[in-house]
């Protein structure tokens, strides 16, 4: 019984760790998609964040400079996306796709040329990684049944960025529904001409939203390479950006449902890792490939509308052309 409880806690801990980059990326996507800019390039921005965080941390030894570099890379790519889609009314899906392909090539190319380790960055020492937060009183609470174990397994020794993500989730909920910026953001995604009529620049708002997107995706990447992992490896994001996008759609572009969608995907992933090679009663061992495709199959099933139709922000994907 006790073992099962610990196992469950470990599973939940793994879920949270896997969910963090997903949540960051999905919330990043929320800002720009709510503003009417579709961003399929979350994946690429995250990968760029992962690479530049690891590269900067490896060179300077400071995870904070790494985080900063990751966010700068994310914002730069977001601005390129904005330049193509907002300033030049380009196709948003194409631009996002281009960014994904560009980064998938650029990160290993630069890693190859700079670090000469076959497209990776050197393994980071613990001082160059984003720290985990040690909580006080683990010992004191250790004797308390249930609560002590929960505190030890889930709360203690959690990466700093996980806490930051928690703050971002709460802040996003507030910004989106309680702040003036959020109101305008949601309005510009539904009816940009109305916003423009009110004397607010659609272009400016969309650029601002994209910059938040870039910063958050960069952070997601930094978590992957300097928080969770210890260095950049090729194709590190492995489709997490697309999963985040799916979670965003599944969560109907709203913070709380999106958060739970990310947690669900992460839970599937955590279970998937545990299930590999374990014989199930009555079925036997499921081939590992079938377990690995669980999150993707789940996404398709969810998108198939078992949870009701997802309605995107009305102006999303459509370039705004001011009438002259």
Partner 1 sequence: MVQIGSGKGQPGAVPGWVGYALLPLLNLIAAFALSGLVILIIGENPVKVLSLMLTEAVGYPEAIGYTLYYTTNYIFTGLAVAIAFHCGLFNIGGEGQAYIGGLGAGLVALALTGWPWPVVMVLAIAASALFGAAWAFLPAWLQAKRGSHIVITTIMFNFIAASVMTYLLVDVLIRPGSQSPETREFDPGVWLPSMERALGWVGVTVPQSPLNLSFLWAIACCVLFQIFLRHTRWGYELRTVGRNERAAVYAGISPSRNIIIAMLISGALAGFVGINEILGVQHRILLNFTGGVGFVGIAVALMGRNHPVGIVLAALLFGVLAQGGGQVSFEYPTINRELVMVIQGLVILFAGAMENLFKPQVEALFRRRAASADTAVTAGRG
User: Site mask, partner 1, residues 267-296, x = CB under 8 A?
Assistant: --------------------x-xx-xx--x
Q: Which of 11, 79, 106, 150 binds partner 1 (CB under 8 A)?
A: 106
Contact stretch for partner 1 (CB under 8 A) within 4-12, 59-67, 100-108, 143-151: 100-108
Should residue 97 be labelled a site residue for partner 1 when binding is judged by CB under 8 A?
Answer: yes
Nearest to 320 by CA among 161, 237, 159, 205: 205
Nearest CB to partner 1, comparing residues 164 and 286: 286
The distance of closest approach from Cβ of residue 239 to partner 1 in the complex, given in angstroms and rounded to an integer, is 6
Query: 88-91, long-range: CB within 8 Å, 24+ apart, which pairs?
Result: 89/319, 89/321, 90/319
**Contacting residues for 204 by C-beta, under 8 A, at least 6 apart:** none
Contact stretch for partner 1 (CB under 8 A) within 25-33, 85-93, 160-168, 271-279: 85-93
Nearest to 166 by CA among 259, 65, 69, 241: 259
Give the number of other CB atoms < 10 A from CB of residue 160. Answer: 15
C-alpha distances in Å from residue 2, one per residue of 12, 128, 134, 142: 15, 36, 24, 14
Contact stretch for partner 1 (CB under 8 A) within 50-58, 87-95, 174-182, 225-233: 87-95
Give the number of other CB atoms < 10 A from CB of residue 13. Answer: 16
Should residue 318 be labelled a site residue for partner 1 when binding is judged by CB under 8 A?
Answer: no
**Given the rule CB under 8 A, which residues bind partner 1?**
40, 80, 83-85, 88-95, 97-106, 108-110, 112-113, 119, 239, 242, 245-246, 249, 287, 289-290, 292-293, 296-297, 299-300, 303-305, 309-310
């Amino acid at each position: 019984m006790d073992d099962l409880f610990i196992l469950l806690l470990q599973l939940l801990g793994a879920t949270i760790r896997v969910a963090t980059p997903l949540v960051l990326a999905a919330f990043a996507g929320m800002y720009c998609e709510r503003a009417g800019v579709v961003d399929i390039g979350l994946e690429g921005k995250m990968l760029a964040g992962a690479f530049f965080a690891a590269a900067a941390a490896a060179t300077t030894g400071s995870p904070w400079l790494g985080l900063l570099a990751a966010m700068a890379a994310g914002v730069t790519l977001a601005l390129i996306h904005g330049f193509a889609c907002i300033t030049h009314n380009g196709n948003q899906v194409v631009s996002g796709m281009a960014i994904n392909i560009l980064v998938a090539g650029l990160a290993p190319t630069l890693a190859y040329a700079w670090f000469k380790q076959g497209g990776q960055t050197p393994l980071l020492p613990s001082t160059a990684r984003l720290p985990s937060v040690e909580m006080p009183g683990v010992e004191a609470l250790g004797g308390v049944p249930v609560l002590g174990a929960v505190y030890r397994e889930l709360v203690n020794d959690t990466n700093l960025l996980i806490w930051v993500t928690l703050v971002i989730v709460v802040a996003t909920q507030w910004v989106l529904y309680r702040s003036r910026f959020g109101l305008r953001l949601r309005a510009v995604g539904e009816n940009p001409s109305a916003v423009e009529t009110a004397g607010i620049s659609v272009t400016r708002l969309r650029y601002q939203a994209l910059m938040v997107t870039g910063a958050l995706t960069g952070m997601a990447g930094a978590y992957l390479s300097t928080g969770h992992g210890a260095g950049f490896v090729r194709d590190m994001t492995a489709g997490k950006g697309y999963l985040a996008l799916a979670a965003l759609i599944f969560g109907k572009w709203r913070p709380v449902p999106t958060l739970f969608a990310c947690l669900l995907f992460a839970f599937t992933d955590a279970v998937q890792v545990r299930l590999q090679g374990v014989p199930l009663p009555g079925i036997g061992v499921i081939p590992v490939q079938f377990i690995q495709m669980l999150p993707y199959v789940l996404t398709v099933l969810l998108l198939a509308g078992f949870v009701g139709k997802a309605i995107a922000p009305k102006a999303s994907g459509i370039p705004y052309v001011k009438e002259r």
